[in-house]
Structure 1
Amino acid sequence: MGIKSMVATLVGRTSQWGLKTFFKGGSSLPGKLALSIDPNVLSHLAKDYQIVVITGTNGKTLTTALTVNILKQEFDNVLTNPTGANMVQGIVSTFLSAKPKKGQKKFAVLEIDEASLREVTKYLTPELFVFTNIFRDQMDRYGEIYTTYQMIVDGAANAPEALILANGDAPIFNSIETVNKQIYYGFDHLPDQEQMAHYNTDNVLCPHCEHILHYKMITYANLGKYYCPNCDYKRPELTYRLTDLTAMTNTSANFIIDEEAYQLEVGGLYNVYNALAATAVASHYHVAPEKIRAGLAYDEKVFGRQEVIHVDGKECTLVLVKNPVGLNQVIDMIGLTPEPFSLICLLNANYADGIDVSWIWDGNHEAFATMQIPAVIAGGDRHEDMALRLKVAGIEEERLTEVPEIDRIVEEIHSLPTNKVYILATYTAVLQLRKKFAEKGYIKGGMSGE
Structure 2
Amino acid sequence: MSLRSSLATFVGNSSHFVLKDILHRGGTSLPGKLAIKIDPNVMTSLAEKYDVILITGTNGKTLTTALTTRVLREKYNNVITNPSGSNMMQGITGTMLTAKPKAGEKPIAVLEVDEANVEEVARQLKPKAFVLTNIFRDQLDRYGEIYTTYEKILKGIRLFPEATVIANADSPIFMRGNLPNPKVYYGFNHEEASGDMRAPYNTDGVLSPTDDSILHYHFMTFANQGYYFSKTDDFKRPELDYAITKLNKLTPSYSNFDIDGKPFQIEIGGQYNIYNAMAAYSVGRFMGVSESQIKHAFESNAQIFGRQEAVKVGDKDVTIVLIKNPVGANQVIQMMSTDDQPFSLIALLNANYADGIDTSWIWDADFESLADTNMQAISTGGERYKDLYVRIKMAGYGDQPVHEDLTKIVEAIEAQPTEHVYVAATYTAMLQLREQLKQKGYIKSGMEG
TM-score, scaled relative to structure 2: 0.97
Distance apart, 1:182 and its partner CA: 2.6
Asked whether the equivalents of residues 27 and 83 of structure 1 are also in contact (C-alpha less than 8 Å), the reply is no
Cα-to-partner distance string for 1:238-285 (whole Å, 9 max, x where unaligned): 111111111111111111112332111000000000001100100111
Cα-to-partner distance string for 1:31-77 (whole Å, 9 max, x where unaligned): 12222222221011111111111000000000000000010010000
Cα-to-partner distance string for 1:128-184 (whole Å, 9 max, x where unaligned): 100000000000000000000000011111222101111100010012312433331
C-alpha RMSD of the superposition: 1.4
Distance 2:114 2:168 in 1: 17
Letter in 1 for 2:96: F
Distance 1:211 1:408 in 2: 51
Asked whether the equivalents of residues 75 and 105 of structure 1 are also in contact (C-alpha less than 8 Å), the reply is no
Letter in 2 for 1:425: A
Task: Say which of 239, 242, 248 aligns to 1:240.
Answer: 242
Equivalent residue number for residue 377 of structure 2: 375
What secondary structure does 2:124 align onto?
A: coil
Distance 2:377 2:218 in 1: 40
Letter in 2 for 1:409: I
Distance 1:164 1:134 in 2: 15
Equivalent residue number for residue 64 of structure 1: 65
Asked whether the equivalents of residues 260 and 289 of structure 1 are also in contact (C-alpha less than 8 Å), the reply is no
Equivalent residue number for residue 169 of structure 1: 170
Distance apart, 1:428 and its partner CA: 0.9
* Residue 203 (str. 1) matches residue 205 (str. 2): yes
Distance apart, 1:299 and its partner CA: 0.9
Asked whether the equivalents of residues 303 and 448 of structure 2 are also in contact (C-alpha less than 8 Å), the reply is no
Equivalent residue number for residue 191 of structure 2: 190
What secondary structure does 2:49 align onto?
A: coil
Distance apart, 1:383 and its partner CA: 1.1
Task: Say which of 342, 345, 348 aligns to 1:343.
Answer: 345
Distance apart, 1:336 and its partner CA: 0.6
Equivalent residue number for residue 256 of structure 2: 254
Asked whether the equivalents of residues 347 and 426 of structure 1 are also in contact (C-alpha less than 8 Å), the reply is yes
Equivalent residue number for residue 384 of structure 1: 386
Letter in 2 for 1:99: K
What secondary structure does 1:18 align onto?
A: helix
Asked whether the equivalents of residues 310 and 442 of structure 1 are also in contact (C-alpha less than 8 Å), the reply is yes
Equivalent residue number for residue 21 of structure 2: 21
What secondary structure does 1:123 align onto?
A: helix
Distance 2:372 2:163 in 1: 47
* Residue 95 (str. 1) matches residue 96 (str. 2): yes
Asked whether the equivalents of residues 78 and 102 of structure 2 are also in contact (C-alpha less than 8 Å), the reply is yes
Distance apart, 1:430 and its partner CA: 0.5
Distance apart, 1:303 and its partner CA: 1.2
Equivalent residue number for residue 300 of structure 2: 298
Distance 2:360 2:392 in 1: 13
Distance 2:147 2:186 in 1: 21
Distance 1:26 1:301 in 2: 18
* Residue 41 (str. 1) matches residue 42 (str. 2): yes
Cα-to-partner distance string for 1:387-425 (whole Å, 9 max, x where unaligned): 11111111133xx21111111211112211111000001
Distance 2:413 2:185 in 1: 43
Equivalent residue number for residue 147 of structure 2: 146
Asked whether the equivalents of residues 184 and 282 of structure 2 are also in contact (C-alpha less than 8 Å), the reply is no
Distance 2:12 2:235 in 1: 49
Structure 1 residues 449 and 139, CA, compared in 2 at 3 Å: closer, same or farther?
A: farther
Distance 1:35 1:412 in 2: 41
Equivalent residue number for residue 85 of structure 2: 84
Distance apart, 1:449 and its partner CA: 8.4
What secondary structure does 1:394 align onto?
A: helix
Cα-to-partner distance string for 1:301-360 (whole Å, 9 max, x where unaligned): 211100111111111111010000011000000011111111101011111111111111
Asked whether the equivalents of residues 369 and 393 of structure 1 are also in contact (C-alpha less than 8 Å), the reply is no
Distance 1:378 1:272 in 2: 29
Distance 2:238 2:413 in 1: 48
What secondary structure does 1:96 align onto?
A: helix
Report the identity percentage.
51
Gaps of 5+ in 2: none
Structure 1 residues 48 and 449, CA, compared in 2 at 3 Å: closer, same or farther?
A: closer
* Residue 320 (str. 1) matches residue 319 (str. 2): no
What secondary structure does 2:345 align onto?
A: strand
Higher mean alpha-carbon deviation, 62-71 vs 293-302, is at 293-302
Distance apart, 1:202 and its partner CA: 0.3
Asked whether the equivalents of residues 205 and 211 of structure 1 are also in contact (C-alpha less than 8 Å), the reply is yes
What secondary structure does 1:352 align onto?
A: coil
Letter in 2 for 1:75: Y
Asked whether the equivalents of residues 140 and 356 of structure 1 are also in contact (C-alpha less than 8 Å), the reply is yes
Equivalent residue number for residue 6 of structure 2: 6
Letter in 2 for 1:8: A
* Residue 53 (str. 1) matches residue 50 (str. 2): no
Task: Report how many aligned residue pairs link the two structures.
Answer: 447
TM-score, scaled relative to structure 1: 0.97
